[in-house]
Amino acid sequence: MAEVIWSRPEAERRGTPLLVMLHGYGTDETRMARHASVLPAEFTCASLRAPRRMDGGYGWFLLDYFHTNDFAEVVAAASGVLAWIDTVKAQHTSVSLLGFSQGMAMASTLLRLRPEAFAAVVGLSGFVLENDLLAALEPLERRVPFFWGRDTADFVINADAVAFTRTWLRENTELTADTYPEMGHTIEFDELADVSKFLRRTVLGKP
């Protein structure tokens, strides 16, 4: 990856669970990295920069309000993330994903391409891509723990995408879902507190 922000120096990463953080459309790795300090201290967090440059930031792939996309571009971006994970995963006890907005679409795509690779996935204020090629391999044989957090009044993610995401997550993951009224299209502390509890329970095995 071109740019990665780590939550701890390299000498302190070995033997820790890895949490790969994927930012939203039009932002960058710094927007996700700032949340690492309130997540469980046992994790090493790595916030990645998306490959497509756009005005004001970066994106994982080009899309519009209806989430129309070039699937070849989606696969190229996902393959880049998976290749990067392959270079670092040996020093970690597990790999989990956390994606916000378009980053949730990327995180869920990574899960669909390699369901055996991830201990848990967190998707915040985002969606799962509707794609016939990926659907041909589903339902996933392994139901990975998945936390889905959002505001039901968040109009950035259209209703059809929310409906598909809800159905897909119920059919393919071990789903924990929660909503946060008046949060909007962002990430707030109460949500991250629930994410922390989810990661402690599913990855660290702590109540």
Average pLDDT over residues 123-136: 93
The answer to whether 115 and 124 are in contact (CB under 8 A) is no
Assign 157 a pLDDT band (cuts: 50, 70, 90).
very high
Range 105-110 contact pairs with CB under 8 angstroms and sequence separation of 24 or more:
105/60, 105/67, 105/74, 105/129, 106/22, 106/50, 106/60, 106/74, 106/77, 106/78, 106/81, 107/22, 108/168, 109/74, 109/78, 109/134, 110/78, 110/81, 110/82
Judged against a pLDDT cut of 70, whether residue 75 lies above it is answered with: yes
Tens-place pLDDT, residues 6-16:
999 999 999 99
Judged against a pLDDT cut of 80, whether residue 65 lies above it is answered with: no
Backbone angles phi, psi at 53, to 5 degrees: -80, 140
Tens-place pLDDT, residues 113-126:
999 999 999 999 99
Average pLDDT over residues 29-48: 97
Assign 2 a pLDDT band (cuts: 50, 70, 90).
low
> In angstroms, what CA-CA distances link 91 with 33, 78, 105, 148?
20, 21, 26, 28
Average pLDDT over residues 65-74: 73
The answer to whether 45 and 92 are in contact (CB under 8 A) is no
Averaged confidence pLDDT in the chain: 94
Strands 174-179 and 16-22: unpaired
Assign 194 a pLDDT band (cuts: 50, 70, 90).
very high
Judged against a pLDDT cut of 90, whether residue 146 lies above it is answered with: yes
Neighbours of 31 (CB within 10 A): 17
Judged against a pLDDT cut of 60, whether residue 66 lies above it is answered with: no
Element (H, E) at 146: strand 145-150
Which distant-in-sequence residues (6+ apart) come within 8 Å of 151 by Cβ? 125, 179, 180, 181, 182, 183, 184, 185
Residue corresponding to tokens 């967190």: 122
Q: Lowest-pLDDT range, 2-6, 159-163, 169-173?
A: 2-6
Among residues 103, 5, 9, the alpha carbon closest in space to that of 48 is found at 5
Helix H segments across the chain? 29-33, 71-88, 102-113, 132-135, 159-172, 189-202
Average pLDDT over residues 74-98: 97
Domains in the chain (CATH in brackets) are 4-202 (3.40.50.1820)
